[in-house]
Amino acid sequence: MRICGGSASSEDGTECNEMDWERTVGGYALVMGAVTLVIWVLTVDGGPVMEPRADPFSLFASLVLGGLTGVSLLAAGAGLVRRQLWARPLSLVAFGLLFAGVIDSAGYYAAVGRVGVVVALFVVCLTTLAALGWSLVDARNRARRAAW
């Protein structure tokens, strides 16, 4: 059985070329957390990122979701990169928030006719689903190994 973890070789000393999914997903979480917070700051600052919504509650909910998403993604990403166990369940919450925010934003930009933004958000949506899928499959595999 080849287990490579964070090293370049397995327990038996042979080379291991497996991709480190935990750190890859952690890096994705860090990038998306930083991007989310930059967009959040620009939105709060009243910049050109998003036109004001007519409904004040909708704008408030969008800002709260964006702030929580950015902070949770940064925390989960840092934890996944450092291989902390607490980061795994947090990453499920963070990616769930990101997915909800992307769906919300895609609906908004589709309504105002910004097709390019909708396509970009669709790509983020697919990548986030892949990260969520990795997290769920990895959690199932770890539970299965622990039961042995």
Q: What is the value of pTM for the model shown?
A: 0.76
Q: What is the model's pLDDT at position 62?
A: 78
The rounded distance, in Å, linking the Cα atoms of 102 and 79 is 23
- Give the H/E segment covering residue 146: helix 115-147
pLDDT of residue 46: 67
| CA dihedral angle for residue 18, residue 20, residue 24, residue 27, rounded to 10 degrees | -150
The pLDDT, as a whole number, for residue 50 is 58
Residue recorded with tokens 């689903």:
129
- The backbone torsions φ and ψ at residue 15, rounded to the nearest 5 degrees and listed phi first, read -65, 145
Report CA 134 to chain centroid distance, whole Å: 11
pLDDT by residue for the chain (148 residues), tens only, comes to: 334 554 444 444 544 545 678 899 999 999 999 999 998 888 777 655 555 556 777 778 878 888 999 999 999 999 999 989 899 889 999 999 999 989 988 888 898 888 999 999 999 999 999 988 887 887 677 767 666 6
**Exposure pattern of 101-127 as b/e (b: 16+ CB <10 Å)?**
bbebbbebbeeeeeeebbeebeebbeb
Tokens of 10: 């397995």
Whole-angstrom CA distances from 45 to 41, 56, 59, 102 are 6, 16, 13, 20
Specify the pLDDT at position 7.
47
pLDDT of residue 109: 87
Asked if 77 contacts 29 with a C-beta cutoff of 8 angstroms, the reply is yes
Please tell me the predicted confidence (pLDDT) of residue 135: 79
Domain locations in the chain as residue ranges: 21-147
DSSP annotation of 45: T
